[in-house]
Amino acid sequence: MAIKKKSFKDIKSKFSKKASFKPDRFFDLGEAFLDATGLPGPAMGHINMLLGHSDTGKTTALVKTAVDAQKKGILPVFIITEQKWDFDHAKLMGLECEKDKDGDWDGFFLFNNGFEYIEQITDYINELLDAQEKGELEYDLVLLWDSVGSVPCKMTFDGKGGKQHNASVLSDKIGMGINQRITGSRNTNSNYLNTLVTVNQPWVELPDNPFSQPKIKAKGGESLWLNSTIVFLFGNQKNAGTSKITATKDKRKVKFATRTKISIMKNHVNGLGYEDGKILVTAHGFLKGKDAGEEKKSIEVYKSENSEYWKDIIGSDGDYNLAVEETGDIF
């Protein structure tokens, strides 16, 4: 006699589990960024990577993320390891910060640049998340790390390791811990929503035969790339691929803007994003620049809105010449 099997519905109700997640949300880096990439900015509740060669707009995107976070009541946490940070520039881009009576910068943000190796950074991130869980830090957080490739692990710092050890530590600390804590905050039973945005520089893997193309790789190994839900690429893969726009008045020449590419290399949130975006990077943020006509219009509006700033820089509120200096293969 055949044994009657249990109802599959009963089995399914016992063993199938479905988590519930908060709706997708993004930081808003402005209309120009959305127009160039197809996304408003980094995704909340995820690890995001801003990848690119030097001077391509990565830190501008990082600061603009912090600016929008402040507007939304999300606490920006600056994790600075490249030691090129400038609060005056960040304030110019809209970050709410002021110097206190002791000359230290104050505002709705946390700032830490006292790191020597990776493990100190990951311990700091976990300390913040622990404090949040204990009710000592009652804010959603956006952790802003600039930049990943500029700091070694403890073994390398002590002169006993190398790149493979740095990658291994990032894999252990990010891939096997912090990633789960960040993405887990998207669960509806989580009281907070936390985000990690990293700035990273690439290295180029040369082809192994004459018919292949060079491949861009992120510093720090594969783990951070694999754990990043969205990867924004600034500039070209092989080089920065930017054009410098300079302003000249009475033989005085200053940098006015940088014309660069921006594309979505990876998007595991909704799969959307452009691969052929073009944008202008200025001291105040991003401008639209998908073609010559739009770029000209953006620059004229920008010059008008920031005439006092440029008057202080170049001695004129609009009467100066702009020229383009190519710095690499751009488009």
How many domains, in total, are found in the chain? 1
| pLDDT value for 287 | 97
| pLDDT value for 331 | 39
Cβ(259)–Cβ(328) below 8 Å: no
The pLDDT of residue 235 is above 70? yes
Q: Is residue 105, in this structure, part of any structural domain at all?
A: yes
SS3 308: helix
| pLDDT value for 330 | 42
**Residue 133 to residue 156: CA distance in whole angstroms:** 32
Burial bucket for residue 218 (CB in 10 Å: 0-12, 13-18, 19+) = buried
Q: Is residue 157, in this structure, part of any structural domain at all?
A: yes
Cβ(183)–Cβ(196) below 8 Å: no
R_g (Cα) of the chain, nearest Å: 23
| pLDDT value for 228 | 97
| pLDDT value for 326 | 63
**Residue 134 to residue 45: CA distance in whole angstroms:** 19
Average pLDDT over residues 140-147: 97
The pLDDT of residue 329 is above 80? no
Q: Is residue 132, in this structure, part of any structural domain at all?
A: yes
**Residue 116 to residue 33: CA distance in whole angstroms:** 33
The CATH number given to whatever domain includes residue 274 is: 3.40.50.300
Q: Is residue 247, in this structure, part of any structural domain at all?
A: no
Which comes out higher in pLDDT, residue 318 or 113? 113
Q: Which domain holds residue 83?
A: 25-237+260-278
Average pLDDT over residues 3-28: 87
- Pairing of β 321-326 and β 243-249: antiparallel
Q: Is residue 227, in this structure, part of any structural domain at all?
A: yes
Which comes out higher in pLDDT, residue 4 or 188? 188
Cα-based torsion angle of the residue sequence 296, 257, 303, 285 in order, rounded to the nearest 10 degrees: 110
Can you tell me which residue has the tokens 């020229």? 323
- Give the percent of the chain with pLDDT over 90: 70
